[in-house]
Amino acid sequence: MPESTLEASRLDVAEALLALLNDTATEPRPDVQLEALTLAVSADLPVLLWGEPGIGKTAGLTQLAETLDLPLTTVIASVHEPSDFSGLPVLGADPAVQGVPMAPPDWAVRLVRAGRGLLFLDELSTAPPAVQAALLRVVLERRIGALQLPPGVRIVAAANPRSSAADGWELSPPLANRFVHLQWVHDPDVVIRGLGGTWPRATLPRLDGRRLPEAVAYARRAVCELLAVRPTLVHRLPSGEANRGGAWPSPRSWDMALRLISFATAAGSSREVLALLVRGTVGDGPGLELLAAMDRMDLPDPEALLADPANAVLPQRGDLRQATLEGVVDAVRRRPERERWDAAWALLARAVEEGAPDLVVVPATALAALRREDWDVPATIDRLAGAVALSRRADRSVAGAATVGTVGADGGRR
């Protein structure tokens, strides 16, 4: 057998082995990161995935494009010139009359011809400032030179932290504020199962068409009520250069957060997914404040609880339950009546029966202070007395133990 034929046959065997290695399957599997990414893509918002090299950002985007049946166009931002995004000037027959058009690159033309696709801007943190400036119109206005990308094109970017990026740059604040920032971390279970041949499948969220008006109203109420009481959060440019390259609050990013809350509500997404999206849009601090405000929006109406304490349903989470009980006491304070005062005690007693008696100490103390002289002590208060006393004794025991711990063997304070 000729040597060339032998080498060809060996390559065929190698190709067969590579084909077997590349033959992987997908499965529906809960993945908070992937769900947050697909939700932001559905909302037509640019997404920036942050993660260490080799963590699977590119592979995740490739799988997402295949699952959503979108042509994937990858552009390595750091190896392009600013003119590749702003367009190359092309002289026409009469530039004084017609002007000088800005010709787009070939990848942008292919996206327009396809009418849809996933534009993947990779290695964004290694793009120099001039290239980042040229990307502003691409990310926000979907315009490359004189070419307008069609609505069917979605934009996702990836970046490594500056500490692990080759010749990395901090993202400019104007560019950073145009993205939903998602931290991409590896899940060992997902990686192990994927290396075994099965990766999680990305699927578009199922939006409930009946809930669309309700979802929009809920999102607008959540954002507007928070900003009404915290107007300083409307626009807050971080002081540190590194923080400016991430998520921070501005009118633009609040509008993005409002859109994401609407989509997450209509899709019935989990709180984990919503937290990733909100914090990745307006930043950790403002995002957590918004999530807390949304929790308070979901609390039961104190007046409804007072009207029917026997059938009241209290939140399971401890912080929400305590906030609900404090809201009940506040409602009695605003309109102090004997029947309402008794109903509040019944609610506190029910909270003790359902667990976590320490949560009723503060509301019970405040409610007791509202008693009028002609109001008899309700029988339900006996069910609270033991729990409140036990909680206070436990607090005193902890305080006493802490005090003893500060006394040294020689009797002196430490």
Q: For tokens 């305080």, name the residue.
A: 399
* Domain contains 223: yes
Residues 36 and 174 in one domain: yes
Chosen domain end from 200, 223, 251: 200
Residues 307 and 274 in one domain: no
Structural domain including 225 reads 209-297
Residues 71 and 178 in one domain: yes
Residues 157 and 66 in one domain: yes
Residues 109 and 37 in one domain: yes
CATH of the domain at 113: 3.40.50.300
Q: Is the pTM of this model over 0.85?
A: no
What number of CA atoms fall less than 13 Å from residue 143's CA on the CB side? Answer: 8
Chosen domain end from 267, 297, 327: 297
Number of independent structural domains in the chain: 3
Residues 58 and 129 in one domain: yes
Residues 253 and 309 in one domain: no
Chosen domain end from 297, 322, 350: 297
* Domain contains 78: yes
Long-range contacts, 173-176 (Cβ 8 Å, 24+): 173/237, 173/244, 173/245, 173/248, 174/136, 175/132, 175/133, 175/135, 175/136, 175/139, 176/48, 176/244, 176/245, 176/246, 176/247, 176/248
Residues 155 and 229 in one domain: no
* Domain contains 382: yes
Q: How far apart are CA 264 and CA 276, in angstroms?
A: 11
List per-residue pLDDT tens for the chain, 414 residues long. 566 666 668 788 888 999 998 888 888 777 888 899 999 999 999 999 998 887 777 777 887 888 788 899 999 988 888 888 887 777 666 666 666 677 788 889 999 999 999 999 988 888 888 899 989 989 988 988 888 999 999 999 998 886 665 566 788 999 999 999 999 887 888 888 888 888 887 777 889 999 999 999 999 999 998 998 889 999 999 988 778 999 999 999 999 999 999 999 999 999 999 999 999 999 999 999 999 889 888 788 899 999 998 888 888 888 788 888 888 999 999 999 999 999 999 898 888 888 777 788 888 888 888 988 888 877 777 666 655 554 444 344 434 444 444 444 444 444
